[in-house]
Amino acid sequence: MRSRIDQAVKTLRYSPNDLARSLRLQKTHSIAVVVPDLSNNFYIELVRGATDYSASANYTVLIGDSRESWEEERNYLDSFDRRRVDGIVRVPPINPGAEKGRFRGNLPVVYADRHPLDRDSYVGRVGVDNTRAAENATGYLLSLGHRHIGIITGDASSGTSVERLRGFLSALRVAKIRPDRSMIHNGHNDMESGHFHAMRLLTSGKRPTAIFCTNNMMAMGALAAIQEIGLACPEEISLLGFDDFYWATLLRPRLTVVRQPAREIGMIAARILIDHIEGRLSVPTPALLNTQLIVRDSCCPPKNN
Q: Are residues 120 and 269 in the same domain?
A: yes
* Angle between helices 41-56 and 262-277 in degrees, nearest 10: 40
HSE of 35, CA atoms in CB hemisphere, 13 A: 24
Contact 127, 92 (CB under 8 A): no
Task: Specify the DSSP element, H or E, that contains 292.
Answer: strand 292-294
Q: Considering the entire predicted model, what is its pTM?
A: 0.86
Q: Is residue 11 part of a domain?
A: no
**CA dihedral (193, 195, 196, 200) positive or negative:** positive
**What CATH code is carried by the domain that includes residue 240?**
3.40.50.2300
Q: Are residues 197 and 114 in the same domain?
A: no
pLDDT in tens, 247-291: 778 889 999 999 999 999 999 999 999 999 999 988 888 999 999
Question: Partners of 63 in the beta sheet?
Answer: 33
Q: Are residues 265 and 243 in the same domain?
A: no
3-class secondary structure, 184:
strand
Among 27-31, 170-174, 297-301, which stretch is predicted with the lowest mean pLDDT? 27-31
Return mean pLDDT, the chain: 90
Q: Are residues 182 and 268 in the same domain?
A: no
Q: What angle do CA 104, 90, 248 make, to 5 degrees?
A: 155
pLDDT in tens, 20-69: 444 444 579 999 999 999 999 999 999 999 999 999 999 999 999 999 99
Host domain of residue 61: 18-128+261-288
pLDDT in tens, 175-230: 999 999 999 999 988 999 999 999 999 998 889 999 999 999 999 999 999 999 99
**Confidence band of 18 (pLDDT split at 50, 70, 90):** low
Predicted local confidence at residue 121, as pLDDT: 75
Contact 234, 251 (CB under 8 A): no
Contact 187, 194 (CB under 8 A): yes
